[in-house]
């Protein structure tokens, strides 16, 4: 097997929400595999921390602060990527916020709007400008949209989050249909219970421990690691997945098999 097909050497990648958790792990893995990485987050300090870790490991990173739900900022993110590294080859649209927590009848519509804005509108905007850049280059491109197990298996009291993550699958499939002819691949990764600050915060909110909660969410009786999700994104952006598009790859310890 040609090991280089699993690598990202020479590629230029954008990772959104790269200041912590899965986004940070993804940015670091892409850099370790040889990509030049634009580390994007609304939190500049967190993004700078990820970029510093990449540089300390010998990788190339550039920080762009971005609210991915704002169209002008997303356009500027892609433009800044090209200005810094000359092109764009792949992107992981990972940025998201904590799910809503109320049943539909009690829904706070301000919270609904915020979740839809960050978890769905941002994916559409990122795809729009990433694909425009691929087309302008007349070159292949790969996009990974980060959904959730909630993209397929709804949870109660998360109506906005579930709707947004279902929408991510729809956008992924639509993008794959529209641009396969230009060799632009669009796929999704669906994380399950991954050990991130967001998940740890939810455990504290609900007074659960990992030992109590993990068996309900994983056949392995443990939380996943951010690096395990990053591996899926790296594969989908590499030549090893050159015949894969429109696919949703679950990284969830078997949760969806139940």
Burial track 153-189 (b if 16+ CB lie within 10 A, e otherwise): eeeeebbbbbbbbbbbbebbbebbeebeeeebbbbbb
Known catalytic residue at 129 = no
Which one of the listed residues 161, 179, 243, 255 is annotated catalytic?
161
Q: Report how far residue 98's alpha carbon sits from residue 209's, in angstroms, rounded to the nearest whole number.
A: 19
Q: Report how far residue 164's alpha carbon sits from residue 115's, in angstroms, rounded to the nearest whole number.
A: 7
Q: Report how far residue 61's alpha carbon sits from residue 85's, in angstroms, rounded to the nearest whole number.
A: 10
Please work out, in degrees rounded to the nearest 5, the angle formed at the alpha carbon of residue 92 by the alpha carbons of 86 and 97: 130
The residue assigned the tokens 């200041």 is: 19
Q: Which residues are catalytic?
A: 161
């Amino acid at each position: 097997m040609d090991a280089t097909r699993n690598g990202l050497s020479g590629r230029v990648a954008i990772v959104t929400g790269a200041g912590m958790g899965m986004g940070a792990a993804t940015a670091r893995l892409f850099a370790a595999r040889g990509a030049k990485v634009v580390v994007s987050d609304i939190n500049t300090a967190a993004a700078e921390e990820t970029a510093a870790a990449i540089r300390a490991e010998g990788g190339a990173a550039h920080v762009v602060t971005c609210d991915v739900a704002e169209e002008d900022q997303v356009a500027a993110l892609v433009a800044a990527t090209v200005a810094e590294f000359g092109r764009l080859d792949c992107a992981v649209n990972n940025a998201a916020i904590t799910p809503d927590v109320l049943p539909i009848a009690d829904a706070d519509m301000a919270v609904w709007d915020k979740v839809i804005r960050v978890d769905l509108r941002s994916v559409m905007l990122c795809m729009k400008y990433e694909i425009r850049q691929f087309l302008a280059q007349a070159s292949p491109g790969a996009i990974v949209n980060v959904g959730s197990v909630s993209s397929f298996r709804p949870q109660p009291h998360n109506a906005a989050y579930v709707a947004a993550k279902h929408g991510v699958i729809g956008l992924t499939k639509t993008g794959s249909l529209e641009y396969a002819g230009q060799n632009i691949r669009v796929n999704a990764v669906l994380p399950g219970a991954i050990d991130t600050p967001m998940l740890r915060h939810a455990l504290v909110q609900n007074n659960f421990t990992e030992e109590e909660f993990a068996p309900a969410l994983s056949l392995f009786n443990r939380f996943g690691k951010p690096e395990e999700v990053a591996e899926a994104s790296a594969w989908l952006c590499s030549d090893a997945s050159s015949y894969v598009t429109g696919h949703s790859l679950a990284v969830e310890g078997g949760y969806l098999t139940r």
